[in-house]
Chains A and B, each alone.
Chain A
Amino acid sequence: MKRVYVNEEWCLGCHLCEYNCAFANSGARDMVSALKGKPLVSRIRVEGDGRITYAVSCRHCTDPLCVTCCISGALRREDGVVRIDRGKCVGCLTCVLVCPYGAVAPGPDGAALKCELCLQNSCGAPACAAGCPNRAIVYEEREEERS
């Protein structure tokens, strides 16, 4: 299955992925109307100390703890993609607590927010990878890793 992988060697810490993610999931037609003057709501986050940086988003684990722990059945694994039905989410944030990668975060409406590989939005493929200027984020098939 194709996943989002991060090559921290090439991450510039430019944070463009966060903005591309927020735009892709905003439903707006252009980035300015999606993001201007609004708080940034992104499912990917650039971590680091200025010297080493890398983007963190959902790993779509084969055995996802978030899905196991979800009390409302909002999180599920579908064709390898860990998806969230935000309508079902009760905002208990257990998933935020258990995710070993810190890749789930509470959204502005209280429901959990996580990367769904842009498969449901107008992008169709992860906007973070498509917009990364240095191929630090790639969307590709790799030998299945245990995760």
Chain B
Amino acid sequence: MSGIQYLFPEYEVVRNDDRCIRCRVCERQCANEVHCYDEGRDKMFSDESKCVNCQRCVSLCPTRALKIVKSDCRLRENANWDSDTIREIYKQAGSGGVLLSSMGNPKPLPVYWDKILINASQVTNPSIDPLREPMETRVFLGKKPEKIVRGEDGRLVTDLPPQLELSLPVMFSAMSYGSISYNAHASLARAAAELGTCYNTGEGGLHEDFYPYGPHTIVQVASGRFGVHEDYLEAGAAIEIKMGQGAKPGIGGHLPGAKVGPDVSRTRMIPEGSDAISPAPHHDIYSIEDLRQLVWSLKEATGHRKPVIVKVAAVHNIAAIASGIARSGADILAIDGFRGGTGAAPTRIRDNVGIPVELALAAVDQRLRDEGIRSQVSLVVGGSIRSSADVVKAVALGADACYIATAAVLALGCHLCRTCQSGKCNWGIATQRPDLVKRLNPDIGSERLINLLTAWKHEIKELMGGMGINSIEALRGNRKMLRGVGLNETELRILGIAHAGE
């Protein structure tokens, strides 16, 4: 320990003392112990060095006496050595460790969704009013037959490979029990069931209480194989093999032992208090052939009744990788872009590894079409789908459905303070501390998730109606409905869209 504090506090707690009534709600609600009350002087004090700017105190202050602002204490301006970079150097010089971060890549890298615009009908073709006419947002994920087949009796063969039916092209993506709380999982499970979509267990197994939500659950099999057993596989509507995660492509996961309490331990099938380490690779998968073996093992184990999803991070050779996965027998391919969230990842990996999901999606859809194998897999994309407009753009670029997780935890109250790794989530989401977990009432959580996706569904219908399209099926891969703005030739070519005005 050095007596010198190299890191000055990033935020300041500004308290309007004319408004503060000393109710001490801020003090009781802050797990970081920023606020305290001095009875003798009847004053509230703040230790801003502990503040992570999660805004819990701001949100609960009954007189709106608080605000958290970025400290204007500045290092000398330097366009090359910005203050975040310098702070990271100070941290590492002090700790000698790998920097850890949470949630998605916050760097100002291009967001292609924002450079793509959607079409609308005018004069030559009618738009559709979703309030007056039927509009289909239902999608089925899984292998589709390539051609019409008739049996010996001349009748159509209608046996389809297993399909995952969703009422709208949005699912909640993988977040493990352990990385997020019991109540967060309960909220997701209930909302998914109510909405007619799916949530995803992540790699942490399925808590026994949530088996009734099985028809709306995607059970994940990741490199650590935590919580995987026959009943678990049988419980889900689909099985997802997690090969990679957008926030940390190429590396595994690490749930600290402190978060492995009795419930997490039982669900993950590991000893209480032990670190849950997911290896970087699956130790039985070193090739597409190996992956094929796991895909088919899981299908065998579940009687070929459940679609198998393979989830990969969007990386440089994603199109070739996707082609391999499509040929491995997987029913659904999930691609996670570099902005995808995480409960903890090495900062350097989160901020520098992987590619934007928009480009990956366009490249993969094109490649699978070129190879004539697009109907063998459904495409699901995730990694910062922020709104219904992003969903519509993704579908038009070729996705069958989207995965959302950051948007979902935001609906649950997350304020993106990006300190999930501390385990002290004041919103009861990314924590296992019982007093914090109870802050998320699943009655409220599931309601907010249902509201969010209900709103998105309305908006998706409005956007489709505007284009004169009345079903997701007719929008999928319909890149003529998209135009780029401010994109160069290469970007437009990869996205397969024309520039606005063309």
Contact = CB atoms under 8 A, between A and B. Distances in A.
Interface stretch (B44-52, B231-239, B435-443): B435-443
A135 B443 contact: yes
Interface in B422-441: 435, 438-439, 441
Interface residues of B, number: 18
A92 interface: no
Interface stretch (A9-17, A67-75, A99-107, A111-119): A9-17
B19 interface: yes
A19 B439 CA distance: 19
Nearest to A138: B443
Interface in B1-44: 18-21, 23-25, 28-29
B63 A10 contact: no
Interface string B48-63: 0000000000001011
Contacts of A136: 441
A131 B61 CA distance: 11
Given A10-B438, A134-B439, A19 B21 contact: yes
Nearest to B436: A12
A110 interface: no
Nearest to A7: B441
Given A19-B23, A32-B19, A131-B62, A14 B441 contact: no
Contacts of B19: 32, 36
Contacts of A25: none
B444 interface: yes
Contact of A51 (B60, B63, B435): B435
A12 B62 CA distance: 15
B444 A14 contact: no
A32 B18 contact: yes
B192 to A, nearest CB: 21
Given A51-B435, A133-B60, A32 B21 contact: yes
A20 interface: yes
Interface in B50-84: 60, 62-63
B28 A14 contact: yes
Given A14-B29, A15-B28, A20-B62, A35 B21 contact: yes
B contact face: mostly helix, strand, loop, or mixed: loop
Contact of A36 (B21, B29, B444): B21
A16 B18 contact: no
B444 A19 contact: no
B21 to A, nearest CB: 4
Contact of B62 (A9, A16, A135): A16
B324 to A, nearest CB: 48
A51 B433 CA distance: 11
Interface in B398-435: 435
Contacts of B24: 15
A135 to B, nearest CB: 5
Nearest to A38: B21
A31 interface: yes
Contact of A16 (B20, B60, B444): B60
Contacts of A19: 21, 23, 25, 62
Interface string A53-66: 00000000000000
Contacts of A32: 18-19, 21, 63
A45 to B, nearest CB: 14
Best-surrounded residue of B18, B21, B60, B444 (most CB of chain A within 10 A) = B21
A15 B26 CA distance: 11
Contacts of B20: 36
Contacts of A23: 62
A131 B25 CA distance: 13
Contacts of A135: 441, 443-444
Nearest to A9: B438
Interface in A61-98: none
A15 B23 contact: yes
Interface in A1-43: 9-10, 12-16, 18-20, 23, 30-32, 35-36
A15 B20 CA distance: 15
A134 B447 CA distance: 13
A10 B63 CA distance: 23
A23 to B, nearest CB: 8
A48 to B, nearest CB: 11
A130 to B, nearest CB: 12
A12 B60 CA distance: 12
B441 A13 contact: no
11 contacts: A13-B28, A16-B25, A16-B60, A19-B25, A19-B62, A32-B19, A32-B63, A36-B18, A135-B441, A135-B444, A136-B441
Chain A to chain B: the 6 pairs with minimum beta-carbon distance, closest first:
A35-B21, A10-B441, A19-B23, A134-B441, A36-B21, A14-B25
Interface of A: 9-10, 12-16, 18-20, 23, 30-32, 35-36, 51, 131, 133-136
Given A31-B63, A36-B19, A36-B21, 16 more contacts: A10-B438, A12-B28, A12-B29, A13-B28, A14-B60, A15-B23, A15-B25, A16-B60, A18-B23, A19-B62, A30-B63, A31-B21, A131-B62, A134-B444, A135-B444, A136-B441
